[in-house]
Structures are given as structure tokens and as C-alpha cells.
Amino acid sequence: MSAPVRLNHRVSELFGFSRAEAEQFIQNGWVSVDGQVIEAPQHKVTVERVELDPSARLEAIEPATILLHKPPGIDAIYGDKSASTLVTPATRWADDPSGERLLRRHFHRLTSPVPIDAEASGLMVLTQDGRVWRRLTEDAALIEHEYVVEISGEIAPDGLRRLSHGLSFNGRALPPCKVSWQNETRLRFAIKGVQGGQLRDMCRQVGLGVVSIRRLRIGRIALGKGPNGAMPLGIWRYLPAGEKF
């Protein structure tokens, strides 16, 4: 039996690439071993069938940004119930319109630049891209978020006006935002620079309890709808190339 060799060595031999080129083709998901895509150049092979995708291109792979429909009770990043544990090949949205090729490397070192309360649900951003991180953190006060908040109780007589402008949070006056009734038990917030716990506290100040919070949009990016309806809870899609918050 042949001695095991690294996959990048075998690819280099088979297809005439330099070792560095072979490694890049493998990491970019263009190489399969016995029909299974392998992205690890150090993977050992002996007599297995090694194939290169006919459409393979030697190009840099951009860092991924993932849009997750976070369920309630899931922490943003930390703990056993962190949002990143939901991002797997099996939970990609079947109607993802991005056209991005799924690579396992996209699931590594994901961070969340935009806070969302653990008990809230809705759009959550997980990214490897420093440009997206900077946009969402450095320009946080300029980017509007849209939330639907299900409430309980009776709102104070001037509550809607005060929610729009006139409340404070953590000792600081809040800037104006847009608040309207979606129906008898749901308020819609279009708000910038929202902080953890802020929406609940705003509602409390006008006599309302909060049953649930769902984020629908961050800037120009929404949860997304496909032929079969909105992206379901616990499912994710890629941020398409060229789309910006």
C-alpha cells in the first residue's frame, strides 16, 4: 500500500500545480477525495480518488458574513447556546439567494458586531469580514434597525410620543426614533444605536411590558423572503457580495 501523503502534495503531483497553488485550491473547496470535498491541505490520502472541480478557479476567497434568524434564548456569541453553534451546513436556508459556495472555513472565527438580547429573536450578523465589523460598529449611531415588539399592558396617554422622543436610558437622553403601532399588541421601532436592554426599558417607562422582541432589519439588510416565505428561525444565509448595510 502507498504511504499516506498530504492532500496538497497529491494535488500538486496530479495537476501540475505548485504546492502553494494546490493548497489554495483545496482550501477554496475545489478538491474532492472519493467524492467528498476536503478543505484541509494536510488531509492524508493513499489510494483514494482525488478530483479537481472542472470549474475550479485560483482566486482569493472573501471572508464570509452570515445572516442568522436567531431564535429567542440564544446568546450572541458565548456559552453552550451561542448563535454560532446554529451555523452549520445543514442549517443553511434552502432559498438563500446569494449564490455563495458553502465552505466550512466560513464557519470559523465568526464574531457578532451588532448586539441583540439573548431573549430577543430576529436578524443577527456573524462575520469574518473586518470591513463589515467596522461599518456596523463605527457607524452604529447612523444605521437604523427595525424591530417588532409585542407588548402587554396599557400605554401611558402620551406614551407613543415619549417613545419617539423624550426618554432616557442609562442616564442619557435618547435621540429621536420612529415608533408606530403595527397592531393592537405590537409596536414597530425604527431606531439607531440601540443598546442591550434599551427597548424593554423604553417600554417600561411608558407603562408597557414586553412579551417578545424581533429584529427585522439592520440598515438596508432584512431577514429575507424567498419563494417559500421568510427565512425560518434557526436558519441562516450569506450576505450577498455587493450588498451593504
Give the pLDDT mean for 172-179: 96
Tell me the CA end-to-end span of the chain in Å, nearest whole number: 54
Instruction: Give per-residue pLDDT as tens, 189-211.
Output: 999 999 989 999 999 999 999 99
**pLDDT, averaged across the chain:** 92
Question: What is the H or E stretch that residue 233 is in?
Answer: none
Given a cut of 60, whether residue 1 has pLDDT beyond it is no
Given a cut of 60, whether residue 9 has pLDDT beyond it is yes
Give the pLDDT mean for 58-70: 91
Backbone phi and psi for residue 235, each to the nearest 5 degrees, phi listed first: -110, 155
* CATH superfamily of this structure's domain 5-52: RNA-binding S4 domain (3.10.290.10)
Same fold, 65-139+221-238 and 144-218: yes
Distance CA(121)–CA(67), nearest Å, equals: 13
- Structure confidence at residue 215 (pLDDT): 97
| 147 compared with 30, residue with greater pLDDT | 147
- Structure confidence at residue 189 (pLDDT): 98
Which neighbouring-strand residues pair with 209?
152
Residue ranges per domain, the chain?
Answer: 5-52, 65-139+221-238, 144-218
Percent of the chain with pLDDT over 70: 98
Yes or no: domain 144-218 corresponds to CATH 3.30.70.1560:
yes
Question: What is the H or E stretch that residue 22 is in?
Answer: helix 19-27
C-alpha cell at 85: 453553534
Give the pLDDT mean for 39-54: 90
Which neighbouring-strand residues pair with 150?
186, 212
- Structure confidence at residue 39 (pLDDT): 85
242: DSSP letter: T
Tell me, rounded to whole angstroms, the distance of Cα 208 from its chain centroid: 30
Q: Strand, helix or coil at 42?
A: coil
Yes or no: domain 65-139+221-238 corresponds to CATH 3.20.20.100:
no
Backbone phi and psi for residue 165, each to the nearest 5 degrees, phi listed first: -170, 125
Distance CA(188)–CA(122), nearest Å, equals: 14
